[in-house]
Structure 1
């Protein structure tokens, strides 16, 4: 194991004296988990994260960067669909070779142009592969600005720079629908932006909390569905506090709840019917 610390200054780990590890805090965590509630640790991290072997960054940064670079095609497709919503499929040939089609394209904003150029530039910069570049000091110093960092716009709404994370936050990786009812990273539906990314064919990905709200059941109930493998997550990521967030297609959630509801409401056979079945089986 390397004794180097992540050059991005990550503090995902904890000192032995961290308040998260006190008896009182551990008891509070256990009580929250037993009640099926979301536990929020008071300390997000107080010890520097150790680099993964042969790298200058920690496992968390490496995983995030690899995931974002892997989503570039979908992100670019969503940006492109802003100009022509009927063409959400991304054609990589058009990145390198200009098409000869004379078909008019819809206008897109300056943000979309800047973000597209930034995302393509980041892809070219890390074309050699993240694993091959993770021990290169210059490349890892650019990993934040080009891929991981969030650059806030100024008072005029202009960003100094775009990263892949910025583009994903702005356009998402799915087709946008202004009437989508839930955005996966929002705590409450009313906090969703005007235009929110949803799954293709209007099948959004929901967290356990959102699944419970959608089906009007407790979060503990949804957790039991997951534990019994009735619900299988199709995506997951770590939030700002390092907690793993699972996502499930809304259609699967509806199907599981409907199936269980049918079993609950199915009438039990009478004694006479049961006897007839026994005779037939005999």
Structure 2
């Protein structure tokens, strides 16, 4: 057996270390081991053949996937069924764009730009064998491309290439398109302003956060909460503290460095 194992911790299903206490014919416990023997690394790289193949497929298909995401995000894209009898166009406004879709486009785009800068004159595909033979580079690549991010309370903090590929894929999918998430900030609260801490209305808060979608996502994940509501010319608007938005934006920008190559970390910005 080789002493070179996949740095991503991959194991061989059904195969065990000789010292494994949770397998074998004599084990009668409730949690049998499904396999703990590590997978050998592929020749010339630090990852197993399975990880290597997955990475190559993601690199090959990512451009097609981004084209699909961009087409889904285009609210003006019409189909023949959008036309009214007599040739007139629909007067209804396009449906709002799915929050997950916009988040995925942002995160994956930043990942692609960062790795494109890192590889320089070579494409990511051309440079991948060198990336996969360097411990730090491959670890960072895995974080942005191969890992699957946790979803907590319906919110995915960061979209890897594998996350987006699993949900949308590189080709058109008719079934299972994502649905729009309704605004959950409608509850009215008493506004209590603090001296020196500016209160922003919803439009101002969305600009400070970067987009309406970003602000909505932060509220849903309870990273930020509205502090009150006011009525201006009969129209109700929700208020947010600028200091909280600035703090969350900084925290999220730090998280977006996940999966970035070491030479370009922090250069692609938000």
TM-score by length of 1: 0.44
TM-score by length of 2: 0.45
More helix by share: 1
Pick 1 or 2: higher relative contact order, CA cutoff 8 A, min separation 6.
2
